[in-house]
A and B are shown apart, each in its own frame.
Chain A
C-alpha cells in the first residue's frame, strides 16, 4: 500500500496526540509537582471555561481573525485583479506578492514590531510625525498585530482568488459590456457570484489559519496589553507553566473551536470540500 507511510506519518502527530491531549486534560498534571498527579474529571474544563482570561483570549482571537481576514479579502481581491488585468509588470507583481508569503513569520513580526516601537527604533512615528506609544495600549497593539498578519497572508489569499478569477470566461465580460454594464456592475454581477466557491474556500482556510495566530503575538507583545490569543494561552499553560492538565484542556477546546468553524463553513455556507486545499503558511 503506497499510501501507508504517508498516512501513518500524518496520524502519528495528529490523531494520537489529540487523543492523548484529551486524556491529559482529564488529569491534575503539573510537571512542577509530578507526585500530585490525579484524575480530575472535567474540572480542568470547568476552570478554563469559567476563567475570564479564556474568554478574553477567545474574543481577541476572533477579533483578530475576523478583522484580518476581512481586510485580506478586500486587499487580496484588489491584488488579484491587478495581477489578472495587468498589461505589463505581471511578473514583478507576482514576485513582490510572494515575498511576504515566503518570509519567516517571526522575521516579519520583528520587522513590524521594530517599525512601530515608539521612542526607540521605529520609523513609523517620525515618518508620520505622530507620537503614539503603539505597544502600550490594547487597541493599538492589536492594530499592529493585525497589520502584520494582513501583510504576511494577503498574498496567499490573492493567489487563491487569482486562480478563481482565471476560470471566468472572458466572453461573459464582453457580453456584459455590449449590454451596457459598467465596470462596477460587471464586478458585482459577474466576478463575485462566479468566484463565490473560490472566495469561500480561501476564507475558510484563512479563517482557520488566523484563529491559530501565535508567532506574531508571541514576538510582538507576548500577550501584553491583553493581546493574548488562545494559542498563546495554550502555550503559556503547557510550556511556560508546564501545567499539562489545564493546558491540554485549552488545547482540546481550541481543537473543538476549529471543528466548529470548519463545520459552519462546510454546512452553513456550503463550501465544497472537494475544492478545498491545504493552506500553506
Chain B
C-alpha cells in the first residue's frame, strides 16, 4: 500500500487509536510518578515540574525498613520459584498427555479446565485458616502453593498444545542413528520443546506477578508481601499527604519489566495465549 492513499490514512488513524487505548493509562502513571508533591494534584497529563524524588523515596530505608525493596524482592523470588516449579510439573503432565495414551487423560484435562474457572475467593478462607494452623501464613510457600495450583492449568494447556506439534518420531530416528535415549531427548526433543516451554513460563510468570487476592489474604507483613499487595498498604510521607507519587513510582517499576517482556516476546505470548484455543 502506498503512503498518501485514503486507505493508508484510515489504517494509520485506526492503529493510533488502538495505541492510545492501550498506552494512555500507562503514560499517565509514568507522568504521575515524575510529578513533584506540590504539582501532583494539578490535573495535568504532562508534568510541569519533574522530579525523581518519588523513586528515591521508595528505596529509602533499604531492604529492612523501606516500603518497597523487600516486597520487590519477594515478588521476584516468589514469581520465579512458582514459575520454575509449575513449568516442571506441567512439562511432565503435558508430555504424558501429548504423547502417551492412558486412562484418565481427558479427566485431567477437564479437571485443569475446571480449576481455571474456579473462583479463587472460595479457597481464600480455608487457606487462611489452614495456613495459620500449619505455619504457612505469611511465608513464601504459603503463596507459592496457590500460585502453582492456579497457574498449572494454563501451563498444561499451553504445553500440551505445543508438545502435540513436536514430531516425536525424530526421537526414535535419533536412536536408530545410535543416540542414547538421553542424548535423543537432550539433543533432539529439548530444542524443539524449548520455545513452547519458554512461552508457558512467561505466561505463568505474568500470572504470579499479577496476583493480588492471595497476596493480601495470605500475608501480613513486608517479609513475604509481594508488590501488588504492598502497594495497597503504602502510606504517605506524612499523615496529611497521599502516597500518590510513591504508588505511581512503584507501579512504574513493576510495570516496566512486563512491558519489555511483552515487546520482546509478543509473538510467543500471542501464540501461547491462543494455543489450542480453537481447533480448526
The answer to whether B126 and A20 touch across the interface, beta carbons within 8 angstroms, is yes
Give the number of chain A interface residues (Cβ < 8 Å): 97
Contact at B277–A277, with CB atoms within 8 Å?
Answer: yes
Closest CB-CB distance, B248 to chain A, in whole Å?
7
CB-based contact A275/B278 at 8 Å: yes
Chain A CB within 10 Å, residue with most, of B32, B232, B273? B273
Do A111 and B122 touch across chains, with their CB atoms under 8 A apart?
no
Q: Assess whether A14 is interfacial by the CB under 8 Å rule.
A: yes
Closest to B26 in A: A99
Residue pairs across A and B with CB atoms within 8 Å: the count is: 300
Number of B interface residues in the complex (CB < 8 A): 97
Separation in Å of the B146 CB from the closest CB of chain A?
Answer: 5
Contact with B along A42-57 (1 / 0, CB 8 A): 0000000000000000
Is A238 touching B123 in the complex (CB atoms < 8 A)?
no
Asked whether any CB of chain A lies closer than 8 Å to the CB of B81, the reply is no
B232 and A218 contact, CB distance less than 8 A: yes
Also in contact, A20 and B130, with CB within 8 A (given A96-B22, A123-B43, A218-B232): yes
| Cβ contact within 8 Å between B277 and A275 | yes
B124 proximal to A (CB < 8 A): yes
A100 vs B19: C-alpha distance when bound (angstroms): 11
CB of A89 to closest CB in B, whole Å: 5
Give which listed residue, B45, B232, B278, contacts A197 with CB less than 8 A.
Answer: B278
B residues 130-162 near A (Cβ < 8 Å) are 130, 145-146, 148-150, 152-154, 156-157
Quick check: B125 and A97 within 8 Å, CB to CB? no
Residues of A101-123 at the interface with B, using a CB-CB cut-off of 8 Å, are 101-108, 110-112, 114-115, 120-123
Cβ B153 vs Cβ A235 within 8 A: no
> A273 — nearest CB in chain B belongs to which residue?
B113
A223 — which chain B residues lie within 8 A by C-beta?
none
Are the C-beta atoms of A254 and B122 separated by less than 8 Å?
A: yes
Interface centre among A20, A89, A95, A248 (most CB of B within 10 A): A95
Tell me which residues from 202 to 216 in chain B have a Cβ below 8 Å from any Cβ of chain A: 203, 206-207, 209-210, 212-213, 216
Given contacts A7-B108, A238-B125, A102 and B261 within 8 Å (CB-CB): yes
Min CB distance, B14 to chain A, in Å?
6
**Beta-carbon contacts under 8 Å, A11-48 to B:** 12-14, 16-18, 20-21, 24
- Residue from B44, B244, B274 within 8 A of A162 (CB atoms): B274
Q: Mark B238-251, 1 if CB is under 8 A from A, else 0.
A: 00001010011001
Min CB distance A117 to B, Å, is 9
Cβ of B112: which chain A residues have Cβ within 8 Å of it? 10, 278
Give chain A nearest CB distance to B140 CB in angstroms.
15
A227 at the interface (CB under 8 A from B): no
- Residues in A with CB closer than 8 Å to B108 are 3, 6-7
Of the A-B pairs whose beta carbons lie under 8 Å apart in the complex, a sample of 13, sorted by A's number, is A2-B95, A5-B89, A21-B123, A82-B15, A87-B1, A87-B11, A96-B19, A111-B25, A123-B44, A125-B43, A159-B273, A214-B213, A280-B203
Besides A9-B89, A89-B15, 10 new A-B residue pairs in contact (Cβ under 8 A), listed by A number? A6-B90, A17-B127, A93-B15, A95-B263, A99-B23, A102-B262, A104-B210, A248-B125, A251-B125, A275-B277
The chain A residues found within 8 Å of chain B, CB to CB, are: 1-3, 5-7, 9-10, 12-14, 16-18, 20-21, 24, 79, 82, 86-89, 91-108, 110-112, 114-115, 120-123, 125-127, 151, 155-156, 159-160, 162-164, 167, 197-198, 201, 205, 208, 211-212, 214-215, 218-219, 230-231, 234-235, 238-239, 244, 247-248, 251-252, 254-255, 258, 262, 273-281
User: Using a CB–CB distance below 8 Å, which chain B residues touch chain A?
Assistant: 1, 11-12, 14-15, 18-19, 21-23, 25-26, 28-29, 32, 40-41, 43-45, 89-90, 92-93, 95-97, 100, 104, 108, 110-113, 115-130, 145-146, 148-150, 152-154, 156-157, 203, 206-207, 209-210, 212-213, 216-217, 227-228, 231-232, 242, 244, 247-248, 251, 254-255, 258-259, 261-263, 266-267, 269-270, 273-280
